[in-house]
Structure 1
Amino acid sequence: MTSDHKPEAGAAFSHRSVLLDSAVDYMVSDPGGSYVDGTFGRGGHSQLILGRLGSSGQLLGIDKDPEAISVAKDLATADPRFGYFHGSFAELGRAVSEAGWNGVDGVLMDLGVSSPQLDDAARGFSFMREGPLDMRMNPQQSPSAAEWLASAEERDIADVIFRYGEERFSRRIARSIVERRQEAPVETTLELAELVSAAVPKKEKHKHPATRTFQAVRIFINRELEDLEVGLKQAVDRLAPGGRLVVISFHSLEDRLVKRFMRDLARGPRLPKGIPVTADQEASDFRLIGKANKAGAGEVGENVRARSAVMRVLERIDKQQKPQGSA
């Protein structure tokens, strides 16, 4: 969830990317290497990565959002080491190939909705601001949240809210949406937020009743978990020996998927007992770097959205490198 800035109607967003320094510290090991910022946002991580690279270093920024790509174009004009790709990190393999690279020395994925998207009422991500019920990270794609809620079956709406929002009152909420749209479609963020609030009989302390529903619909509309599964595989397939994949997630569904993916790769192949194999055949090509990282108290104090951030790091082992202490 990038948290940088984007001017809007005379105001300005001025949020700092979560876990900015530590993410770049983990990823950038070679100033002359090739790196991918899989979630460019407004360039917070990319700017710092470029600051760590030498004249021969290269960085590719990827983002679904046309507004993010507009910022990326300006950066590419200003810095020849930077290039961009308009699309999802699920297309990372294609993006790297089109850049003419054989492999990469690091990939960063900063998941979820960005602060500029959340803070812009016209994008329809926030239940706290009145705006069109859109929620698309790429508004050029269909359907919007309003379009989907206007036509989806009640059971499908309930399934999405339960699966992606882990909302126990998903059936009540879905029923309310379907009953409401028989009179008039749900077209704005506050209409949906008020409808959900009325449908939820028990409120969680310090959490808006619509939080889980908005999260669920957004994840579904943008195919976020499906893209994440594909993107993780694309990233590790392109990692050079010694290269690292750094992923920052913001809710349990994302982090669970990332944790399992990295853990399974680090464990190596799961072979049936009794099969004659060498130690090298059993060994993994990957290792976990440290434990899950979280934002410190100071960062959370500056940016409340940082409190749920979890960063995990996976490295492709460089088997040609001599172990420390060897002759």
Structure 2
Amino acid sequence: MQTLGLITVVMVALGFAYTNGFHDSANAIATSVSTRALTPRAALVMAGVMNLVGAYVGLKLGGGVTKSIVNGIIATPPKGAGGLVVVFALLAGAILWNLITWYFGLPSSSSHALIGGMVGAGLAAGLTVHWGGVWSKVVLPMLVSPMVGFVLAFALMVAILWGFRRRRPGPVTRGFRMSQTVSAAGMALGHGIQDAQKTMGVVMLALIAGGHATNKSPVPWWALLTTALSISLGTYAGGWRIMRTLGRRIIELDPPRGFAAETVASLVLYFTAFIYPAPVSTTHIITGSIMGAGATRGRNAVRWGVAKNIVYAWCMTIPAAAVCAAAVYYVVHPIFV
């Protein structure tokens, strides 16, 4: 019975990875699609492949984000059915919030939905929540990373405008449209490095609860492969509602600004994967970068009303996903434990 429960929870984790893919695919490709640097289908294929590569690279070069999920947010779930229910509830809460925000086209964070699910299920189960880890690894990067993306993208765009000020607009636009193929691939790679590690961390929590691993065990090869494939398939399915919000509703992007936003967002993702390992939100970073690059056109170029709604969704994600996960736990726990 416990083996069946473990298989079920792992399948739900892969389902979360799939929703992460179609929910966050816009992060990697919205700017390149909106500027017509890539066709939607070509962009989705490229993003799916780079997510797969990023999952492997992120784990093999340290796996710091996976370790943060396993050890840094809540105490290790107990072995047995009780622990599996905790992992199931945190995943169900995150998936539910992902679907709600996808329906309304809001680029909220799948990462923070997962963290909120962990906190909500952990509190409902009476587990210790590592509030210091939540602050340093989640809340602080949530506040800082969009601002860093905004400032650096603004600065890079100013440098681009100055460096190409004497060039004809037509050739410059065509050149940056081609360059966006590289910057979009870099963004998709960063998404795979970050987000695949988070799901692998939850799979490890399920294996620990099922008695098949400890918090020091390496990630099995099959967990790496299935997680990466799930995110890649979800990415290929596409998140068109969110893509429209990021690519067109915040600001009308041109190729140079799209390139600046994607380049900065990629660099921030790499920094938080390898230098300061933290489960940051790719959504927050690319959104802040898009706003920063767009702000070089003037204050009125950014549709601040849309940006305000996005920030509201950011602020709601962790508590809302926590409530969803706690509700699932209270429903499921009496049935299976």
Q: Which has the larger radius of gyration?
A: 1
| TM norm. shorter chain > 0.5 | no
Structure with a larger share of its residues in helix: 2
TM-score, normalised to structure 1, is: 0.26
Name which structure has the greater RCO, CA cutoff 8 Å, separation 6+. Answer: 2
Q: Looking at secondary structure, tell me which structure has more strand per residue.
A: 1
